[in-house]
Structure 1
Amino acid sequence: MSSLSKGGAVSSAGLLISLGIIYGDIGTSPLYVMKAILGDAIISRELVYGGISCVFWTLTLQTTVKYVLLTLQADNNGEGGIFSLYTLIRRRAAWLVVPAMIGGAALLADGIITPPISVSSAIEGLSILDPAIPTVPIVLAVITFLFLMQSFGTEIVGKAFGPVMLLWFTMLGSLGAVSVVHHPEILQALNPFYAYNLLWHYPKGFWLLGAVFLCTTGAEALYSDLGHCGRPNIRVSWAFVKLALLLNYLGQGAWLMTQEGNRLQENPFYSIMPDWFLLSGITIATVAAIIASQALVTGSYTLISEAIRLNLWPKVKLVYPTDQKGQLYVPSINWLLWLGCVGVVLYFRESEHMEAAYGLAINMAMLATTILLSYYLYIRSKSRVLVFAFLAVYLAIELSFLVANLNKFMHGGWVTLLICALLLTIMYTWLSAYHIKRTLTEYVRLKSYLPALQELSADESIPKYATHLVFMTSAPNPREIESKIIYSIFQKRPKRADIYWFIHVDITDEPYTAEYKVKKILEGDVIRIDFKLGFRVEQRINLFFRKVVEELVEKGEVDITSRYYSLSKQHLIGDFRFVVLEKFLSYENELPIAQRLIMQWYFSIKQFTSSESKWFGLDTSAVKVEKVPLVIKPAKLPQLKRVMT
């Protein structure tokens, strides 16, 4: 196992992959942050120094202290992200699912706005060379290429992007340092006094926090991609990344001071480049902007896989492109993000317009993380005073950012909030439907039906359904079984088999658990297998079951030879058949409006998700899917009166 998967020692490969996967978003912020802070205002020392001071302290307090030093500590066996954080504390406070859902939906919404603004900001640099170049088609082509690459896996993507991002950050730091040499006084901007002066004394200075916030929007990706890169690699690489970012911001500030008294006419990011380097700089920036989209895209895959485990998202197909632990690809989310990105580009068309929509959703995600992290620290810290101090400080910081970002609402912020609301609706619907179904699942004592199962197995008057009949069961107690399975075996169509197998899958909070237990409920007739699988383990139940059966045969614990006389003489293996019971909403329901809408939405969404058999990785040629009506509240029938003729 590599250091990446274990989150162990720092390695050069791990550092390179970290640069390629997680720093794209925060790493390309110099493309637009200073431009957004200045806007149409007259360039002044107060504005430039104050803006850089705010950026420096935001990166220090938000990214370095909160995420790199504190939040990365809250890992779930090496896995990160807001849902992993919620997993660590959910058994102590169920209400925390609310901020977890809000934060998860906000992060997914941010993944839709990040690629358009990053790529557009870089591609628009071409207008310096030729204002007539149409940038929108190029942006759409670049974004499409990025999402097409995702199926190859983040390990391959990281190895390809890592060297490019190393070049990018080296370029940022070098260009910034050269510019700072010509105006070394800009280093004074690191003094927090300038940030205070901008926010409290500069006209409408407080509202500039909405633009300042753009410098830290990629901080959540540091945590979300913890499982891809490992904590030590992230912390060491962040020191290099932060230095490069600060040098570039300072360099832009140094150039801006040469323009004092004027209004900004061009992007200061490109203005600090020598003329001979401009074309190369635009090219590198364009490639880096492609990579900028990677951080939240890979983070989105992690979010969805964990949301599925927490019953907050439909069971969609998950793909593991490589053998590297932590590598994950979710096709449906990949193309959902792509569609959203295309829509954002076509609606806003220019990065300047996108800036208004950017940051509001991720601000909500950061607030949710603060609440969850505070509770995590509260139950583990010896000093409750420090925990409350942390909560107070970061609520004050992030609520200030939120108020400033709300100023963007009518200028485009509503777009990301609308996307966030739609995603939150899906999560709420799925979780509510899960609880409604769970209350209606009826379990019966399996012991009561063992004699009947034994008699059915021996009843030769009934045609044999299969030699080995396998049911997936949700009953956590091995002594119980769903009543619908009993109904399927005895009544829907009597299913005679030599051996009845019941398989239960328990998804654990640990990411890579792979264990099983075998319980012989009735020797030679009824066997139950309980799998305990981590939430990052691919559910290939068909292969797992086959392996378990092979081990049982080797140890002489079970005989799977066909019991047909003509076949048993040849020692042929009997056939295996899986039965999967899928529920549908019965028309015989009389529900309150709210529950009826939730269940209707649930089953409408379910049509576009993976079937139970595909989710469990069963061999479809040996699977029988039976539809079972879900009756939540039987409809009241009118009193019928028989009329005699």
Structure 2
Amino acid sequence: MSLEVDNPAGGAGGGGESANRLSLKRHDSLFGDAEKVSGGKYHGSEGSWARTLHLAFQSVGIIYGDIGTSPLYVYSSTFPDGIKYNDDLLGVLSLIIYTLIIIPMLKYVFVVLYANDNGDGGTFALYSLISRYAKIRLIPNQQAEDAMVSNYSIEAPTSQLKRAQWFKQKLESSRAAKILLFTLTILGTSMVMGDGTLTPSISVLSAVSGIKEKAPNLTQTQVVWISVAILFLLFSVQRFGTDKVGYTFAPVISVWFVLIAGIGLYNLVVHDVGVLRAFNPWYIVQYFKRNGKEGWVSLGGVILCVTGTEGMFADLGHFNIRAVQLQRHLVPIGGTVLHRPSGVPAEIPGERRRHLLQIHPSIIVTIAFRTTTSIGNAYGICVVTTFSITTHLMTVVMLVIWKKHIVYVLLFYVVFGLTEMIYLSSILSKFIQGGYLPFCFALVLMTLMATWHYVHVKRYWYELDHIVPTNQMTALLEKNDVRRIPGVGLLYTELVQGIPPVFPRLIKKIPSVHSIFLFMSIKHLPIPHVLPAERFLFRQVGPREQRIFRCVARYGYSDALEEPKDFASFLADRLKMFIQEEVAFAQNDAENDDEAATDHQAPPRPPRRSTGSVVHSEEAIQSRGSTHSGRITFHASQTAEEEKQLIDREVERGVVYLMGEANVSAGPNSSVLKKIVVNYIYTFLRKNLTEGHKALAIPKDQLLKVGITYEI
């Protein structure tokens, strides 16, 4: 609700007509609340330097524990059969140095980190960011009221850059492009999860393998079981959260960086300062000339030097850009240079929060693969595939959102895309030697995610095709002889328009509706956070005396839903605020109508023979209008207070949550593949994943499910 000052034209001395009139500018209620808050800072905001240094220290234990432990396994994976030529060590070291410069520093630190989604990073954040600027989702996600949320921040393409608008239109009009972007997103997410499974396995196994330098009698089986025990120990402390894990491992990783830097400097001074020749890229050329195809195959081991780079972006939500950039520059590139690559000290790295699959897969991988070489082959594929997907999505961001010049876009895509494709072609040559693992892992996860998304989209459009128009609410209630019962009823639905098909089924089976009834839609916007003040949007459904409303509760994908008691209290407060605003709008409309009627019915001004009578007539008219306006204001205020008291009473009587228990099945004429996907895979997921009421934290004793079957 906003106030607009109306200044009617009138010269000086115009008397009452020259006074400003305040009038309410009427907006639809779904748009009103979204205009009230104009900012908010989250973990992504930069903050003070003290906070930045604090976060930079924590990032050492969370992010750089992976990047900094790559010396444990890079050389062993690059030279599984030993070093043939001494200069090969310099060639590989030169490759490592320039790979660290090109991918983590140039690509991620100076470009990718700035494509964060309100402070959150990762593959899904890039997809979410793109979906705010282009309608690429298979379910409509761009609505006017969403774009008014503070964190949405959409800027329309400028007329000067028609290429961005053209590319955006191509994305929006191509179903194949939408499916491709979605596929890349879930593939990248699957690879990140695979990365999270393999990181602890290869890091711990490599660290324990270093013990064999001093204990040659230690068998590989014993190394594996020691690694398993350490993994159990590491995962047991992960449940304490990122903050405590970061504080715990940051000193450990910091000591590790100091030690490897000190050992590197010692080896340079005492043994061979000539190792610094690796900064000359000519050694890379000579390395490939000497080794040919074997040199190309060895790139699969070299790429492991940048493992954990994606974590700088994916874990950005826990820190901020400045903290990650600061700590990245403090990590020395050449600090891992040792005189003898086989003499690698043991170290236990910190575990990252994004290891979503927890203990069992990492331990199974450790037991099954046993050696760092086999795990490294799988690890490399995860890392490079994620890099490549990020490059492709970043190119779309640069074209559609950043609207960069085509030269810069092509430069980014060619330099980083070509580099990553060379590494990917190398690591794929080791597909049989363990490289198949992430693809099998990703195939399973992608199948599950794609199946859930496919049925979800089909179900949404089915419901949309079978909605009941809201203007038929009164007829629907009268037809079923519905009676009103005490309390507040919330019927959950994904639709934000119309009456969902489950409601007619509900009142047909149980012809009763709570005294206050809301069609509740939980909507996840393609942004990480929605401010609490912008959480709820309301709309009246049917006549006001029926007290039936539509409510859209908006959340970002990183927001946690409130507890039931807090949710109900917050919802009631916002509903009362909405009613107050609606009464104010009605009052304003009535006053405007009254003014218009008074002006229309006023008698023509008589001749100026009797000024007093004219003044008396105008005063009488103003008095009657003032008295009528006062009655409207008093009545409106009284109505608002009564409605708010009614809400409080009904909330105290109890809140009942109603949900549709939808059984989705494939139509009789569907293909065999569709029947397998819908009737078996989706049904299996629906039965084994968290139920809707549990995800929404709805108490069982306040839940009522309504069964309905959708045939898609």
TM-score, reference length from structure 2: 0.73
1:299 corresponds in structure 2 to 354
1:18 aligns with 2:59: yes
| Structure 1 position 519, deviation (Å) | 2.3
Q: Does 1:404 align with 2:426?
A: yes
Counterpart residue identity of residue 583, structure 1: A
Give the one of 622, 625, 628 matched to 2:708: 628
Name the aligned partner's letter for residue 90 of structure 2.
Answer: Y
Q: How does 1:436-455 map to 2 (within 5 A)?
A: 436-441=458-463, 442-453=466-477
Alignment-derived partner of residue 101 in structure 1: 186
Which one of the candidate residues 426, 443, 454 is aligned to 1:432? 454
- 1:191 counterpart (242, 262, 280): 280
**Which letter does structure 2 place at the counterpart of 1:232?**
R
Offset at 1:337?
Answer: 3.8
1:427 and 1:579 mapped to 2: Cα distance? Answer: 27
- The CA distance in 1 between the partners of 2:516 and 2:41, in whole Å, is 42
Aligned to 1:472: 492
Residue 167 to residue 454, structure 1, CA distance change in 2 (3 Å): farther
Specify whether residues 376 and 177 from structure 1 end up closer, same or farther in structure 2 by C-alpha distance, changes over 3 A only: same
1:239 aligns with one of 294, 304, 329: 329
Structure 1 residues 449 and 536: CA distance shift in structure 2, 3 A? same
- The yes-or-no answer on 1:538 pairing with 2:617 is no
Q: SS at the partner of 1:357?
A: helix
Compared with structure 1, are the counterparts of its residues 209 and 586 closer, same or farther at alpha carbon in structure 2 (3 Å cutoff)?
A: closer
Query: How many aligned residue pairs are there?
Result: 551
Which residue is equivalent to 1:144? 232
The 3-state SS of whatever aligns with 1:499 is: strand
Q: Which of residues 99, 109, 130 is equivalent to 1:89?
A: 130
8 Å contact from structure 1 (residues 432, 598) kept in 2? no
| Residue identity opposite 2:447 in structure 1 | T
CA contact 1:3–1:14 (8 Å) conserved in 2:
no
- Asked if structure 1 preserves the Cα contact closer than 8 Å seen for 2:80 and 2:373, the reply is no
SS at match of 1:443: coil
Give the alignment of 1:165-564 within 5 angstroms: 165-182=253-270, 183-203=272-292, 204-241=294-331, 243=332, 245-249=333-337, 252=338, 254-255=339-340, 267-270=342-345, 282=346, 285-286=347-348, 289=349, 291=350, 293-294=351-352, 298-299=353-354, 333=356, 336-379=357-400, 380-441=402-463, 442-453=466-477, 459=483, 464=485, 466-477=486-497, 480-488=498-506, 490-514=507-531, 515=534, 516-521=536-541, 522-524=543-545, 525-540=547-562, 542=564, 543-550=566-573, 552=575, 556=640, 559=643
Post-superposition CA distance 1:51-105 (Å, at most 9, x none) = 0000000000011111111100101111100111111223243232222222111
Letter in 2 for 1:498: S
Question: One-letter code of the match for 1:80?
Answer: G
65-74 or 350-359: bigger deviation: 350-359
For the residue of structure 1 that corresponds to 2:83, the secondary structure is: coil
8 Å contact from structure 1 (residues 507, 533) kept in 2: yes
Give the distance between the partners of 1:467 and 1:572, measured in 2 at CA: 6
Q: 1:129 aligns with which of 198, 209, 214?
A: 214
SS at match of 2:379: coil
For residue 231 of structure 1, report the CA deviation from its aligned partner: 0.6
Cα distance in 2 for partners of 1:190, 1:299 equals 34
Query: Is the contact between residue 387 and residue 420 of structure 2 (CA under 8 Å) also seen in structure 1?
Result: yes
Checking the alignment, whether the CA contact within 8 Å between 1:120 and 1:135 is kept in structure 2 is: yes
Equivalence map 1:579-598=2 (5 Å): 579-586=658-665, 589-598=668-677
What residue is the counterpart of 1:57 in the other structure?
98
Report which stretch shifted further, 595-604 or 354-363: 354-363
State the secondary structure of the residue aligned to 1:583: strand
Structure 1 contact 49–189 (Cα < 8 Å) conserved: yes
1:8 to 33, 36, 47: 47
For the residues of structure 2 that align with 1:85 and 1:122, how far apart are their CA atoms? 34
Question: For the structure 1 residues 355 and 27, does the alpha-carbon distance in structure 2 shift closer, same or farther, using more than 3 Å as the test?
Answer: same
The aligned amino acid for 1:172 is I
Structure 1 position 119, deviation (Å) = 0.6
2:628 corresponds to 1:608: no
Residue 4 of structure 1: CA displacement?
Answer: 4.6
Relative to 1, partners in 2 of residues 1:346 and 1:458: Cα closer, same or farther, differing over 3 Å?
closer
Identity %: 24
- Larger displacement relative to structure 2 (507-516 or 1-10): 1-10
1:582 and 1:612 in contact (8 A); partners too: no
Which whole-Å CA distance do the structure 2 matches of 1:240 and 1:377 have between them? 28
| Structure 2 letter corresponding to 1:445 | P
Partner Cα separation in structure 2 for residue 382 and residue 360 of structure 1: 30
Q: CA deviation at 1:350?
A: 2.6
The CA distance in 2 between the partners of 1:224 and 1:419, in whole Å, is: 19
Deviations 1:317-346 (A, max 9, x none): xxxxxxxxxxxxxxxx4xx34221121111
Name the SS of the counterpart of 2:354 in structure 1: helix
CA contact (8 A) 1:473 1:481 kept: no
**Residues 9, 232 of structure 1: 8 Å contact kept:** no
- How far apart are the structure 2 equivalents of 1:370 and 1:349? 33
Q: How far apart are the structure 2 equivalents of 1:109 and 1:545?
A: 39
SS at match of 1:215: helix
Partners in 2 of 1:497 and 1:96 — Cα distance? 44
Q: For residue 269 of structure 1, give the secondary structure of its aligned residue in structure 2.
A: coil
1:484 counterpart letter in structure 2: V
Query: CA RMSD of the aligned region, Å?
Result: 2.6
Partner of 1:330: none
Aligned to 1:34: 75
- One-letter code of the match for 1:118? S
Aligned-residue offset at 1:454: 6.9
- Distance verdict in 2 for CA 1:30–1:541, change over 3 Å: same
For 1:511, what is the secondary structure of its paired residue? coil
- Mark the runs of 5 or more structure 1 residues left unpaired by the alignment: 257-266, 271-281, 301-332, 633-645
Secondary structure of the corresponding residue to residue 580 of structure 1: strand
Letter matched to residue 421 of structure 2? L
Deviation (angstroms), 1:374: 1.1
